[in-house]
Chain A
């Protein structure tokens, strides 16, 4: 027995428009804002909350004052223009003090040096951030740290050149030692050779060269650095140094060699277990005790080293997550083709593991950049607390509260938001798996 009617279609149905309430804005609002009575109530309440906030903020921003010499003058202008009860933002402070937020107490007649360094930094970063640019530009990126150091701190030009030669010595020793001793031992020997160069050859050679050809800029002391100049110097240096260090630590943690593995695990767990502030105090106070008495180890350099180590421990763990996400087959295929460990890591494993880890790595970088404000605790003039305290200590700007923090916060937001957008762009660009 059949309980269906045999059927043959004689005419095909043409497509039609959906019903009027089922398309466009109406449909979107119905689905996303008013899908149930409870959601409708929440939507209305949310709308009211936003309205209430805007009613507070918008007049304050609308009554902004840009031209005034002090906070009291600001308040007078606001009261005069919008009535005695009106509130308004006093951006005149930013107008007067922007240079301190940017450069700290860097000598004003030398502002061209950080400016030039900043532009060169953008050029140096370009080939690192955008893989389509010619690889030859990387040569400039590699020499940029030395150029920037010389521009920012000044002094003789020979000091950074001789330091750079130390890296040359390291590369040369590594090149000859690694085929015989293997990559890790070769790298260790190279590092020792470079350390010997910096300890024994550095000062005499750069002094000799300087007396032969005196070429230099006026010296600027680390105490004079401040504001976003300081944040960017610490942030960018620590970011670029912590990524390679983090990769090595992640690999070390996965190593079969017990010593390498336990050192890596110990380092990562120690650093992650200690607050950054503790490490910064260590940098500013304790480290000096362990070094030979006459060495004057620059405070910014000490801070950079500890911030780098701190970030590297986090990045190592992020990358370890990426490594764990790779199927075993990738390692096996690389092995089966005869690639050695370092080739497999560089060509097969790391490109994929880093790609997976991009969101985590960039989060760490953003965190690191914001953490540079913590250097205020070791007496450096960070833009958020250090410079703001200076501004508010001025009798003219005493009592100004929201404006400096909003200003510094906005600039931090712009930089961090930029990093975040870049990472999203990079992820999309590197997406080749077509899942």
Chain B
């Protein structure tokens, strides 16, 4: 995976609960997408969620920052319960960063403006300070020299790293990744994964929907396997990959690791 050995010194799971999901259910019309999902995420955990397409894994993490609304059960993020209260939703969203499959950068703004927009308007940070923070995180994802270009001028991998930097500029406590490498060419996947690994090394709480099993083995402390809207199996990565319990998991793993 990464060329250097992964530094696990700061990857500590604390006792503090970051996300608590209790008996959560969601329907799209009549279709039952998420069924009785229960999950506790502790601070500092790095969770990889995998499963066949349509299993509800993206929907699950999109419920955590209320891009999708759940219809039953409870989601508590960082002590705030997600209800229809807009104040709570905006509070949770400003503390939970999200990285999308298709980057979703703002094409009419420069890279720097993409990164400073939310800090300036949501956090009310002075422009200069926001720009310093943005440059800091852009250096961290190794593209400070692109700050004044527009997203359309960057490669997919660079755009995704900007998207990560944009989220980090809000100093989030939790990061959600929704298939961050699925839309990328193979050679660009690595640069994005490296960025995610260094984020994990700093102790960020991360939930990643991804099919990058190498990343799961290297960084995750827990792998969650979903099918038909429910959690089928979860375990630490070594056990999960070497000794899967359910037949559905075995079938899935044989299909994605089979060749």
* Residues of chain A whose beta carbon lies under 8 Å from any beta carbon of chain B: 327, 329-330, 332-333, 335-340, 343, 347-348, 351-352, 355, 430, 432-435
Contact = CB atoms under 8 A, between A and B. Distances in A.
A337 B94 contact: yes
Contact of B102 (A329, A335, A434): A329
B98 A336 contact: yes
Pairs A-B, 6 closest by C-beta atoms: A338-B94, A434-B152, A333-B104, A329-B104, A337-B118, A338-B93
A104 to B, nearest CB: 43
A48 B173 CA distance: 76
A340 B104 contact: no
B241 interface: no
A352 B108 contact: yes
Contacts of B118: 337-339
Contacts of A351: 108
Given A330-B104, A432-B107, 17 more contacts: A327-B102, A327-B104, A329-B100, A330-B106, A332-B67, A333-B100, A333-B105, A336-B67, A336-B96, A336-B97, A336-B98, A338-B170, A339-B117, A339-B121, A351-B108, A433-B150, A434-B150
A435 B152 contact: yes
Contacts of B153: 434
A435 B117 CA distance: 23
Query: Which of A330, A336, A347 is packed against the most chain B CB atoms within 10 Å?
Result: A336
Nearest to A344: B121
A355 B93 contact: no
Interface size class of B (residues with CB under 8 A): 20 to 34
Interface string B145-170: 00000101100000000000011001
Contacts of A340: 86, 90
Chain A interface SS verdict (over half): helix
A337 B100 contact: no
B122 interface: yes
Contacts of A348: 106, 117
A340 B121 CA distance: 9
Contacts of A352: 106-108
Interface of B: 65, 67, 86, 90-91, 93-94, 96-98, 100, 102, 104-108, 117-118, 121-122, 150, 152-153, 166-167, 170
Given A338-B90, A340-B86, A343-B121, A333 B150 contact: no
B121 A347 contact: yes
28 contacts: A327-B102, A327-B104, A332-B67, A332-B104, A333-B98, A333-B100, A333-B105, A333-B106, A335-B93, A336-B65, A336-B67, A336-B100, A337-B167, A338-B90, A338-B94, A339-B122, A343-B122, A347-B117, A348-B117, A351-B108, A352-B106, A432-B107, A432-B108, A432-B150, A433-B152, A434-B150, A434-B152, A434-B153
Query: Which of B106, B122, B167 is packed against the most chain A CB atoms within 10 Å?
Result: B106
Chain B interface SS verdict (over half): mixed
Nearest to B97: A336
Contact of B93 (A330, A336, A432, A434): A336
B102 A338 contact: no
A337 B86 contact: no
A351 B170 CA distance: 22
Contacts of B170: 337-338
Contacts of B121: 339, 343, 347
A348 B117 CA distance: 10
A227 B99 CA distance: 58
Contacts of B166: 337
A352 to B, nearest CB: 5
Contacts of A338: 90-91, 93-94, 118, 122, 170
A337 B86 CA distance: 14
Contacts of A327: 102, 104
B87 to A, nearest CB: 10
B83 to A, nearest CB: 16
A256 to B, nearest CB: 12
Query: Which of B102, B108, B122 is packed against the most chain A CB atoms within 10 Å?
Result: B108
Contacts of B117: 337, 339, 347-348
B206 to A, nearest CB: 15
A47 to B, nearest CB: 44
Nearest to B107: A433
Nearest to A352: B108
Nearest to A435: B152
B115 to A, nearest CB: 10
A352 B102 CA distance: 18
A94 to B, nearest CB: 46
A232 to B, nearest CB: 32
Contacts of B90: 338, 340
